[in-house]
């Protein structure tokens, strides 16, 4: 994918603020701190288009990024971050659910998990949700630079067993630090978009 344009559009706190371009949207879901915002930056080869950070809970609302006036990357708040109040957790959950449940142009949901760890119960719930939504998906095994290449298959296998026992969903090792997997992620996105038109 050649990136001619990548621009932040809006942080939307409610559906009335969602952009109405009608372009297909690719949403990024996953535990807080797993690397969703870093993936946006890696995909468009920019250092800080999306805000990232060491403190989990960096992304708090639904962020839309225009890619080539053709599709939208949608960075969602992460789940499973223990150190926020119940009220705040609920508010983020509601924002994410509202987006995922109501957005007609949502075409694909990329589920990010940490390549080093077994997926959590929350990840399994998210995967079930994605499956039931009927949207296309791929599992991104993030922070792949934290293990050696020789270990990719073993770890991808553990993730697949937990989330996709029938093996129908691509599992893509990805590193925002080394840009591993960038082409593979664009390729699953392109495939989904082409299917849609």
**Does residue number 32 form part of the binding site for ligand GTP (CB under 6 A)?**
yes
Return the number of the residue (150 or 165) whose C-beta is nearest ligand GTP. 150
**Does residue number 160 form part of the binding site for Mg ion (CB under 5 A)?**
no
Quote the CA–CA distance of 100 and 96 in Å, as a whole number: 6
Return the number of the residue (30 or 170) whose C-beta is nearest Mg ion. 30
Return the number of the residue (32 or 66) whose C-beta is nearest Mg ion. 32
Among 6, 27, 29, 34, binds ligand GTP (CB under 6 A): 34
Quote the CA–CA distance of 121 and 102 in Å, as a whole number: 24
Tell me the residue number closest to ligand GTP, measured at CB: 78
Return the number of the residue (20 or 48) whose C-beta is nearest ligand GTP. 48
Is 110 in contact with 73 (CB distance < 8 Å)? no
Task: Identify any residues that bridge with 75 across adjacent strands, giving them in sequence order.
Answer: 28, 63
Quote the CA–CA distance of 183 and 62 in Å, as a whole number: 25
Q: How many residues bind ligand GTP (CB under 6 A)?
A: 24
107: Cβ–Cβ under 8 A, 6 or more apart, which residues? 24, 25, 26, 135, 136, 192, 193, 196
Token couple for 175: 């590193």
Q: Per CB under 6 A, which of residues 120..179 are in contact with ligand GTP?
A: 142-143, 145-146, 175-177
Binding site for ligand GTP (CB under 6 A): 30, 32-38, 52-54, 56-59, 77-78, 142-143, 145-146, 175-177
């Amino acid at each position: 994918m050649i990136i001619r344009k990548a621009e932040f559009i809006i942080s939307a706190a409610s559906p009335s603020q969602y952009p109405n371009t009608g372009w297909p949207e690719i949403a990024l879901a996953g535990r807080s701190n797993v690397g969703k915002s870093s993936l946006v930056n890696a995909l468009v080869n920019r250092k800080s288009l999306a805000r990232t950070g060491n403190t989990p809970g960096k992304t708090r609302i639904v962020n839309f990024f225009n890619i080539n006036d053709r599709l939208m990357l949608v960075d969602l708040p992460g789940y499973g971050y223990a150190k926020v109040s119940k009220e705040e957790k609920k508010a983020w959950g509601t924002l994410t659910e509202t987006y995922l449940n109501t957005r007609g142009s949502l075409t694909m949901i990329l589920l990010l998990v940490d390549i080093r760890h077994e997926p959590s119960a929350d990840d399994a719930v998210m995967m079930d949700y994605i499956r039931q939504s009927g949207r296309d998906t791929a599992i991104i095994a993030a922070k792949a630079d934290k293990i050696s290449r020789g270990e990719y298959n073993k770890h991808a296998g553990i993730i697949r067993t937990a989330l996709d026992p029938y093996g129908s969903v691509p599992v893509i090792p990805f590193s925002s630090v080394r840009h591993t997997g960038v082409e593979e992620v664009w390729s699953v996105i392109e495939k989904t978009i082409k299917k849609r038109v």
